[in-house]
Structure 1
Amino acid sequence: MANGPKNKKFFWIKLRPDFFADPYIKLLRRMAGGDTYTIIYLKMLIKSAETDGVLYFQGAGLDIAEELSLILDEAVEDVRALLAYLDAKKLISHSAESEDIFLVASADLTGSETDAAQRVRKFRERQKQQKTLQSNVVETKSNDKLEQELEIEQEQDSPLPPKGDGEERADYDNFGEAPIQDLAADMLSYYNLAFSKSFPMTNRSMLTPLVMHGVSYQNFVDVVNYIVQSWSAEIRENILPKSLGNTKKFDKWEDEAKGKGFSNTKPIQAILADRKKQREKIDDINKLAKEQRDNYALIRAEYVKRYGQEKIPTIMETPPADAAAAWRLLFENDVGAWEFLHKKVESRDM
């Protein structure tokens, strides 16, 4: 028996409107060769989209920089310079045991969907367009009643969407059971996380009607985020997977969510990851500030030995907290570094 058509998966990156206004990107572009580095960075983001933000070292080059230069068709010197910048700005992370690198920004910029889900989404868009056109036509009560009866019959007999032309229905016939259940399982996992529930995966069938209705994972995330952040705890407690699986209710809640600005919102996992990064960033700042205070006490004492106590450098006149190279020069008794600090102190009025 011939195998059925493969279910392809498409990946993309989504740039924020302020991507090029980001301080890290602006600083990168101002460097010599910065526009080239920016293009290479975008290529890396695209390449990492299908591997969850990780660029794996396969051993074709001497190191990850040489290998990326081959894959991206860019000069190895440019790739090395970019990686050094991204590493310094904590925009990539890597372990000591591996040459693999993780692009920190990829989680916010990357999306994906299967070709079947893409067909479902397009079908749903066509259905909405048809619904909009129909809403502009005044129908008789008998037609309204007949349409309601047909909708009830379709909901009772099958989770499939209303029949359209042959091509539209064929999209659903080729969708396949596995992708449907996979997406429904992803939705149920997100529901459990957002509502602090523990429904087993056997209950994913409650959300299958949404998948057949053309609801994407992002649509589901937006609606769940809207409910969690906008509704009272008492009402949220009564929202079960079966409630979300009601396509009529879901469409209504989706419209409400969009009206409240809940469109392409971040999943809770990403929000928690952002908060963790922010805490880590604050911890790093506090650590640097402590190091600066400790270093200042040592440099101040040495300064008094060298130049006396008539004028003593303030902490603001010493190098910035993250200027490790400047501090190192002072601790290594570099004459130029000490004279520079002395001139700065002497130029102060008092």
Structure 2
Amino acid sequence: MSKKYYWIKLKESFFSDLRIKKLRKLAGGDTFTIIFQKIMLLSLSTNGVIVYQGIESNLSKELALIMDEDEDNVQLTLSYLKQTNILIEEDENNYNIPLISELTGTETDWAKKKREYRKRQNEDNVLTMSDKRREEIELEREKYAKLNQILLDKQITKDKKREKVLNQYIGESTC
């Protein structure tokens, strides 16, 4: 069975979001922000849903156990996330982070290999030319085109002279 990879795409504005700014300004806010990101990672495969399994007496203790974080820090983070509607309690066992669905990407192991294979197939092994090099090539083409035209004109002139001489010779010999 192939593996499935998930990832979170943090928006450029993640740290400038007022809710995250406020979280970071709290005492221990950087730790809370990391805990929030760990919670997001835990909920990737379930599209933002965190399921309380009842292993511990409450969700914060269970998440602290899963994430190897301090229970108090997890509790404060969860309280803040609920207060700011980043985390929504659907029922006593399910919590949802609606933001996750728009930040999540997924790919199977096979899709990753196929994408990498296509990328290798499309790679051009020839060095790309700079615009300056293209201009030089274009100038060379123009130069050779002019030279060819000059040579062609000279050949046409020679041919006309030969034809004229031939016509004169033919004309004198028939007389």
Task: State the TM-score, normalized to the length of structure 1.
Answer: 0.35
Pick one of 110, 113, 118 that aligns with 2:104: 110
Structural mapping, 1:10-89, within 5 Å: 10-89=5-84
Structure 2 CA distance, aligned partners of 1:45 and 1:38?
11
Aligned to 1:94: 89
- The ranges of structure 1 where at least 4 consecutive aligned residues each deviate by more than 2 angstroms after the TM superposition are 132-136
Amino acid at match of 2:115: R
Question: How many residue pairs end up in the alignment?
Answer: 129
Structural mapping, 1:150-299, within 5 Å: none
- Look at both structures and tell me which one has the larger radius of gyration over its CA atoms: 2
Q: Kindly indicate whether the alpha-carbon contact (under 8 Å) linking 2:90 and 2:96 is maintained by their aligned counterparts in 1.
A: no
Q: Kindly indicate whether the alpha-carbon contact (under 8 Å) linking 2:6 and 2:105 is maintained by their aligned counterparts in 1.
A: yes
Q: Kindly indicate whether the alpha-carbon contact (under 8 Å) linking 1:64 and 1:100 is maintained by their aligned counterparts in 2.
A: no
Structure 1 CA distance, aligned partners of 2:60 and 2:93?
9
Structure 2 CA distance, aligned partners of 1:128 and 1:21?
38
Q: What is the CA deviation profile of residues 63-93 of structure 1, one whole-angstrom value per residue up to 9, with x for unaligned ones? A: 1111000001111111111111111111111
Aligned to 1:120: 114
Q: What is the CA deviation profile of residues 211-231 of structure 1, one whole-angstrom value per residue up to 9, with x for unaligned ones? A: xxxxxxxxxxxxxxxxxxxxx
Pairwise CA distance, 1:133: 3.8
Aligned to 2:3: 8
Pairwise CA distance, 1:61: 0.7
Pairwise CA distance, 1:109: 1.5
Q: What is the CA deviation profile of residues 218-265 of structure 1, one whole-angstrom value per residue up to 9, with x for unaligned ones? A: xxxxxxxxxxxxxxxxxxxxxxxxxxxxxxxxxxxxxxxxxxxxxxxx
Structure 1 CA distance, aligned partners of 2:84 and 2:127?
54
Which structure has greater strand proportion? 2
Structure 1 CA distance, aligned partners of 2:119 and 2:71?
45
Which blocks of at least 5 consecutive residues in structure 2 are unaligned? 130-175
Structure 2 CA distance, aligned partners of 1:104 and 1:121?
29
Amino acid at match of 1:81: L
Aligned to 1:332: none
Pairwise CA distance, 1:95: 2.4
Pairwise CA distance, 1:103: 1.1
Aligned to 2:156: none
Amino acid at match of 2:105: G
Pairwise CA distance, 1:134: 9.1
State, as a whole percentage, how many aligned pairs show the same letter. Answer: 38
Structure 1 CA distance, aligned partners of 2:24 and 2:33?
7
Higher deviation after alignment, 66-75 or 6-15: 6-15
Structure 1 CA distance, aligned partners of 2:49 and 2:79?
17
Amino acid at match of 1:89: T
Q: Kindly indicate whether the alpha-carbon contact (under 8 Å) linking 1:57 and 1:99 is maintained by their aligned counterparts in 2.
A: yes
Structure 1 CA distance, aligned partners of 2:26 and 2:127?
56
Pairwise CA distance, 1:26: 0.5
Task: State the TM-score, normalized to the length of structure 2.
Answer: 0.69
3-state SS of paired residue (1:60) = coil
